[in-house]
Amino acid sequence: MSLPVRILFCTDPLIPARPDRAFVHEVEAAEAAGLAWSQVDFEALVAGDLTRALRRVAELTAPETAIYRGWMLRVGTYEALYHGLFARGWRLINSPAAYRSTHLLPDALPYLGADTPRTVVVPLGPAFGWPAIHAALAELGAGPVLVKDYVKSRKHEWDDACFIRAADDRAEVEHVAGNFIERQSDDLVGGLVFRAFETLVGLGVHPQSGMPLAREWRRFVADGRVLAGAPAWELPDLGPPPPEFAALARRVPSRFFTLDLAERVTGEWTAIELGDGQVAGLPPQLDAREFFKSLADWDPRP
């Protein structure tokens, strides 16, 4: 008989006794699936007050596996949460090392291998600057590229903080990447990541931001198998990607993660990136009740 996981949601910043309103539909779905849940105070957690953050988390008499479903956490904050919960008998599904392996793109690249667009990384540090950025971009040639940090892009600011039309156009690079750096400000994680732009099957443009929409899917993978999946956008779709990424999913050192895929105009699919399944959003066409029913049916024992 499978042992259901426990779920840990974030509290609402305005009403700490309640779950964050952004996750209410997930709380309802977890309850419908028969899953026990508790709350962590996200504001206290990111402020470094672990005792206050976990004041609503009961100590368990026997260890149980848990899944955090909340806002993204920096690696150090996740590690503090992991160990704080461990002391209370909660065993988060992913260790800090596993979280890092999918949450930070440079750490995920070895597992994505040749199945992902060509990528160069420019880490923050004493050598960080335009000379290092241009030198790294030389590896990608003269084609278009996308810029992001180790975790996030600004894809909804497509034209001036994400898409660079020519990697060898220094003025264009410094304009777009400079905007990205300035707008990320203290939220910039790790450094810059530049990825070769690939022509994907288009679905139109985002009505608010003008960002081009491509045919993309998000898969949630649990212990190497697909737990759930759905199109990335709330648009008609032709069906799921082929199963050929099974080998990739099995080599990722995480028990619960997401794999984002996109279809090239040639008909092949490419792996865009990985993400930790605990902090990845549910695609709009993935029913939360179906998702949490899948979690309830999953046996998380090692």
**Each residue's pLDDT tens digit, 128-161:** 999 999 999 999 999 999 999 999 999 999 999 9
pLDDT of residue 243: 85
Task: Sort 69 into a burial class: Cβ within 10 Å, 0-12 / 13-18 / 19+.
Answer: buried
Query: Token digits for 239?
Result: 């069906």
pLDDT of residue 3: 58
pLDDT of residue 244: 83
Helices 96-103 and 105-112 pack at an angle, to 10 degrees, of: 80
Map tokens 């810029």 to a residue: 147
Distance separating alpha carbons of residues 234 and 29, to the nearest angstrom: 20
Query: Token digits for 265?
Result: 């105009």
pLDDT of residue 1: 39
* H or E segment and range at residue 294: helix 288-297
Supply angle C-alpha 277, 16, 12, rounded to 5: 45
pLDDT of residue 42: 96
Please list the ranges in the chain whose pLDDT falls under 70: 1-3, 302
- Tell which residue, 92, 131, 95, has the closest CA to residue 5: 92
Spell out the residues 6+ positions from residue 84 whose beta carbon is closer than 8 angstroms to its own.
50, 53, 54
Task: Sort 258 into a burial class: Cβ within 10 Å, 0-12 / 13-18 / 19+.
Answer: buried
Q: Which amino acid is at 223?
A: D
Spell out the residues 6+ positions from residue 288 whose beta carbon is closer than 8 angstroms to its own.
25, 26, 28, 29, 282
* Contact yes or no for 295/67 (Cβ under 8 A): yes
Phi, psi of 53 (to 5 degrees): -60, -35
pLDDT of residue 302: 65
pLDDT of residue 206: 87
Question: Beta strand pairing status for 212-214 and 225-231?
Answer: unpaired
